[in-house]
Amino acid sequence: MKYTLISKTALTAVLASAFVGAASATIVYQDTFNDGVASTNPDIGGGLDTTTGSVTSSPLLEFFGSIGQGSTTSGGAQGIGLSTNAFDLSGGFTLSVTFSVLDSSSPSSSASAPPYPSNSFSFGLVDATTDIDDFLGFHVEDGSSTTLDGIGYNTNTRENSTTGLNFGDGTTASNLSNGQVVVDGAQQTFELTVDANGNFSYSLNGAVASTGTTTLDLSDEYKFAIFSQGTNGGSIISDVTLETVPEPSSAALLGLGGLALILRRRR
């Protein structure tokens, strides 16, 4: 049995294409909210399932290339949305969201017009098993008990919650970082990257990234989620993009396939 080596040039091409192809990010969800209907999405990855809170109905509405609540008549009015489809993020992901908020502060308890004391606006990713009727946003208090199972950005200081990147494992909530500052009334771009090992970095408008680690379980599938309450149409999202990266094991397998071509049997 004899073997001959393929050329170095051919070998380099095989391995490069294998690893680069395996590491390429794929857009699995993208919505520019430009068709006027939340449940449909002409972009990528399906639409949003939506619901409202029990106090006053004020659903999420698409308008002029954005999504948010319409007129809210009380602070209890909620607009909640979860993507219809769930996504495999096991190799890591990048979530980008372009948004603006009406008011990131906690208004006076005597406020009789928007923004109300319960003013809240947050978005992110929740475990695919999350019931939309039980989802209450990412405005959690660090160290408190929570039903939140996911990671997301909270723009408001409502009810002692911390603005910034918040995480919940279904039992305990934690603020991962509040190093990025929201500017009221300005369009901003949030970007969060989490790798397969749980290392994260996030930033607003390309600022120096805040980094750390999280125990987000990437073996689960996740849905994009929006929570809005009492914002009177002043807090909106105009674009969301979710990109995934294949698991490292996939890249390794492709690389091994390339190595197998190094030797060629000659009879």
Regarding whether 17 and 109 lie in a shared domain, the answer is: no
Which band of pLDDT confidence, cut at 50, 70 and 90, is reported for residue 35?
very high
Say if residue 164 is in the same domain as residue 128: yes
pLDDT tens, 171-228?
Answer: 999 999 988 888 888 999 999 999 999 999 999 998 988 999 999 999 999 999 999 9
pTM: 0.83
15 lies in the same domain as 31: no
**pLDDT at position 259:** 47
Domain containing 264 equals 1-24+248-267
Same domain, 62 and 134: yes
216-243 pLDDT, tens digit each: 999 999 999 999 987 776 889 999 999 9
Model confidence at 15: pLDDT above 50: no
Q: Distance (Å, rounded) from C-alpha 89 to C-alpha 55?
A: 35
pLDDT score at 64: 85
Q: Which is more confidently placed, 119 or 248?
A: 119
Q: By C-alpha distance, which of 82, 3, 73, 9 is closest to 45? A: 82
- Which pLDDT band, with edges at 50, 70 and 90, does 16 fall under? very low
The tally of CA atoms less than 13 A away on the side-chain side of residue 37 is: 7
Number of domains in the chain: 2
CA–CA dist 156, 209 (Å, integer): 20
Identify whether residues 164 and 253 lie together within a single domain.
Answer: no
Confidence of residue 262 (pLDDT cuts 50, 70, 90): very low
Looking at the structure, tell me whether residues 92 and 18 fall in a common domain.
Answer: no
Same domain as 267, residue 193: no
CATH number of the domain to which 176 belongs = 2.60.120.200
Burial class (CB in 10 A: 0-12, 13-18, 19+), 172: middle
Residue 78 confidence (pLDDT): 86
What DSSP string runs through 99-128? EE-S--S---TT--SSSPTT-EEEEEEEET
Instruction: Give pLDDT tens digits for 155-164.
Output: 987 666 778 9
Instruction: Please report which residue ranges of 87-238 form alpha helices under DSSP H.
Output: none
Same domain, 13 and 53: no
Residues 12 and 46 in one domain: no
**Residues 4, 55 within the same domain:** no
Confidence of residue 13 (pLDDT cuts 50, 70, 90): very low
- 95 and 67: one domain? yes
Token pair 């005597």 in the structure block, residue? 110
pLDDT at 143: 83
Is the confidence at residue 42, as pLDDT, over 80?
Answer: yes
For residue 8 the two structure tokens come to 């170095």
Q: Are residues 61 and 130 in the same domain?
A: yes
